[in-house]
Structure 1
């Protein structure tokens, strides 16, 4: 009896989630299809029911994770745009995010050093996620402050770069100082949040 569409979708999501975490730790070249499938408790044969190549999985895992982040989520109705953006900024530039807590790992920061070595389709997917982040932040910020596209570009680049750099640092005080400085500067650009 064939698997249901629901089962197939859940399996695909399990592969995407598990693979993103492995790609974020080891990079594209650091893992094999066998590693990726074993990590989520499945066999290599199951891979081809969902993906045609490791590059396709990488691209889809990047987009899947981006859609799973807080920024992609809906703002609670009882929260102002300014409050929501402040919460997002503080969550993004947090020690928990740097440590890669499962619900926080942003593909833009966690794959930043690996993307440049990938094919154009993967680079395009990464760029699309980046532009989506800018659009979302601009929508929230423009409702309460006088910021422009340049402000948003500098804030998102700083946020992504801060997390990517903080992940390489060994000293927790240095990490916390970097994150605090970037929260302060981003908050100023985003209307004093």
Structure 2
């Protein structure tokens, strides 16, 4: 009985899912095609009906398996503030110390940067595309016309870097501290920027302050130097 396209697509996705989990847990070099197919309950021969090589499989994992990016894309708010609040909740959960193990096997961006750096060009380009997507999602609704918003970029670097460092760290307390600091910093980066006065307004305020200072000095000299004119001054002169 011939395999239907739907069945073939499901099998391919199963291979991808198992490969992604194993690559993130063990790394690229320590994971073999046999490992992946055994986890998927399939024979090695079935692998080549879906992927040309292990490198091709790895590139596809890097292209598609990104837990954080998927969560951010699933935000449903219709305004900038709502999107920001949803993103803040996603990052707070992503960087929580209790979720490190789950994130490590669920997000390729955080789990495989070193492996991708040594991989063929196809995997590295796929990683770059995913990173662009992450930055774009973090800036969605707040980045204006800029494609790579500076604060969104910094938040993305914090998330990916903190997970990698906490995972590699052999000291639990230090790893927890890294994640806590990253959570706080990421939350601050997502806060809306305060309105800044335009240069024209700043110059206007400076001129008003300078003018007020000159008036104060003139009044001080008048009080401490020459006698002021007025009824009291004339009365004093008459007594003399």
Residue 12 of structure 2 is matched in structure 1 by 12
TM-score of the two chains, using structure 2 as the length reference: 0.71
Unpaired runs of 5+ residues, structure 1, are none
Q: Which structure has the bigger radius of gyration?
A: 2
Residue 106 of structure 2 is matched in structure 1 by 105
Residue 29 of structure 1 is matched in structure 2 by 29
Alpha-carbon distance in structure 2 between the residues aligned to 1:51 and 1:67: 23
Residue 127 of structure 2 is matched in structure 1 by 126
Distance 1:134 1:114, change over 3 A: same
1:45 aligns with 2:66: no
Alpha-carbon distance in structure 1 between the residues aligned to 2:74 and 2:100: 23
Residue 92 of structure 1 is matched in structure 2 by 94
1:78 deviates by 8.3
Alpha-carbon distance in structure 2 between the residues aligned to 1:68 and 1:92: 7
Residue 187 of structure 2 is matched in structure 1 by 187
Q: Is the 8 A contact 1:37 1:44 kept in 2?
A: yes
Alpha-carbon distance in structure 1 between the residues aligned to 2:68 and 2:52: 23
Which deviates further from its counterpart, 6-15 or 170-179?
170-179
Which deviates further from its counterpart, 123-132 or 162-171?
162-171
Which deviates further from its counterpart, 122-131 or 165-174?
165-174
- 1:13-71 residue CA offsets vs partner (Å, 9 max, x unmatched): 11101001111112111121111111211111110110001011011112221278543
Number of residues of Structure 1 aligned to a counterpart in Structure 2: 187
Unpaired runs of 5+ residues, structure 2, are 193-240
Higher-RCO chain (CA-CA 8 Å, sequence separation at least 6): 1
The alignment yields a C-alpha RMSD, in angstroms, of 2.3
Q: Is the 8 A contact 1:90 1:183 kept in 2?
A: yes
Residue 234 of structure 2 is matched in structure 1 by none
Alpha-carbon distance in structure 2 between the residues aligned to 1:100 and 1:122: 23
